[in-house]
Amino acid sequence: MTKQLDTTPRQDGFRMPGEHEPHAGVWMAWPERTDNWRYGGKPAQSTFVDVAKAIAKTTPVTMVVSAGQFENARTLLPSNIQLLEMSTDDSWMRDIGPTYVVNGEGERRGVDWHFNAWGGLVDGLYFPWDKDDAVARKVCETLGDNSYRAPIVLEGGSIHVDGEGTLYTTEECLLHPSRNPDLNREAIEDVLKDYLSVEKVIWIPQGLYNDETNGHVDNLIHVIRPGEVALTWCEDPVDPQYAISRQALDVLETQTDAKGRQIKVRKLPMPGPLFITEDEAGGVDASEGMERVAGERLAGSYANYLISNQHIIYPLLDEKHDDAVAQLLAQWYPGYEVTGVDAREILLGGGNIHCITQQIPAV
């Protein structure tokens, strides 16, 4: 019998592991929302299948899907992908799924954050979002894991940890008035320390340019390993991302992590810039929250990859850079398999491979 606990992970001796630590599984959610995914979600569904297949080479994958799409998803997905009927409002498992914490005794528990569709009634992307907000607890109950209901609004894509006490986030997202307007930086840090057992929070000013999540950190950087970070890098001085990346570099290189290490920063080239085409915009139903119009700049980033069991699954976004990025990832992760998946359809929906996945740590 699972329960929601009224203690905190820190009190109970649990910490959030780094993504490079072993996974028991990866969870995803099936895309079908027609005001976000073009042509009834069909192109996106094909891409989600490709991502699930790639991950499943090294890690078991569970896909949650609505009752109405169950047969379609079962037909499109190979039999080694577990399918589970569950209601959602959209398909960003990183942000709606639980953030897992583990202890040294081989136990794990989920952290269930409040979710408000990236901004609630201030600048959220859709309403209602109650089905999404219920997903984290359902995942924990399905897996038989106890959980904690954290007291703040937070999405999984807005944080990265190294597993050794350091958390990376952006001021743009966590201090945004649409998340926790009654809490200042220190109060938010206290919650992060209580619920993830981190010692130090490194605040990067802004996330990727034109990111509709208010600048999620996982679209700008990725933690390679403790003390080492990949950063989206832009070489064009007239591009708005140029200044954002340099500001981030300055923060990362002038601070130490929780263990006192100087942070080593690796530069990942930025794809594009990429823009929505007329054809792509034409397949999306109109909505109030999401900008899916021709010419809108896409928040494309190679940093939005997933690490799972000695395997990197990264987005193919721009043929000018895709191969070079594969070579960099192979250098930074010696001994890892590196798999690229054509991920433009995920990008058109507002995120990428890291955003649509949530890992469950092995214990």
What residues have CB less than 8 Å from 58, skipping those under 6 apart? 308, 309, 310, 311, 337
How much is the pLDDT for 240?
Answer: 98
Q: Which residues of 112-121 are buried (b: 16+ CB within 10 A; e: fewer)?
A: bbbbbbbbbe
Report pTM. 0.97
How much is the pLDDT for 293?
Answer: 86
Mean pLDDT within 40-60: 98
How much is the pLDDT for 81?
Answer: 98
Mean pLDDT of the chain: 97
Judged against a pLDDT cut of 90, whether residue 286 lies above it is answered with: no
Spatial strand order of the sheet with 166-170 comes to 160-161, 166-170, 200-204
Domain coordinates in residue numbering, the chain? 4-361
Question: Where would I find the beta strands (DSSP E) of the chain?
Answer: 4-5, 23-29, 61-65, 82-85, 99-102, 108-114, 147-153, 160-161, 166-170, 200-204, 221-225, 228-233, 264-269, 306-307, 311-316, 337-342, 358-361
Instruction: Tell me whether residue 34 is exposed, middle or buried, using C-beta atoms within 10 angstroms of its C-beta: 0 to 12, 13 to 18, 19 or more.
Output: middle
Catalytic annotation on 355? yes
User: Using an 8 Å Cβ cutoff, are 7 and 148 in contact?
Assistant: yes
Q: One of 140, 173, 234, 355 is an active-site residue; which one?
A: 355
What residues have CB less than 8 Å from 330, skipping those under 6 apart? 336, 338
pLDDT, tens digit, 9 for 90 and up, residues 125-169: 999 999 999 999 999 999 999 999 999 999 999 999 999 999 999
The percentage of residues in the chain with a pLDDT greater than 70, rounded to a whole number, is 100
Confidence of residue 72 (pLDDT cuts 50, 70, 90): very high
Cα angle 258, 9, 354; round to 5: 70
How remote is the C-alpha of 276 from its chain's centroid? 21
How much is the pLDDT for 288?
Answer: 74
CATH superfamily, with its number, for domain 4-361: L-arginine/glycine Amidinotransferase; Chain A (3.75.10.10)
What residues have CB less than 8 Å from 30, skipping those under 6 apart? 45, 48, 63, 64, 65, 66, 69, 73, 88, 91
Nearest CA to 96 out of 126, 71, 76 is that of 126
The percentage of residues in the chain with a pLDDT greater than 90, rounded to a whole number, is 96
Rounded to whole angstroms, how far apart are CA atoms 172 and 240?
A: 15
Peptide bond into 273 cis (omega under 30): yes
Rounded to whole angstroms, how far apart are CA atoms 62 and 118?
A: 24
pLDDT, tens digit, 9 for 90 and up, residues 189-226: 999 999 999 999 999 999 999 999 999 999 999 999 99
Confidence of residue 283 (pLDDT cuts 50, 70, 90): confident
More confident residue, 19 or 293: 19
The partner residues of 168 in beta bridges, in order of sequence, read: 160, 202
Rounded to whole angstroms, how far apart are CA atoms 137 and 273?
A: 38
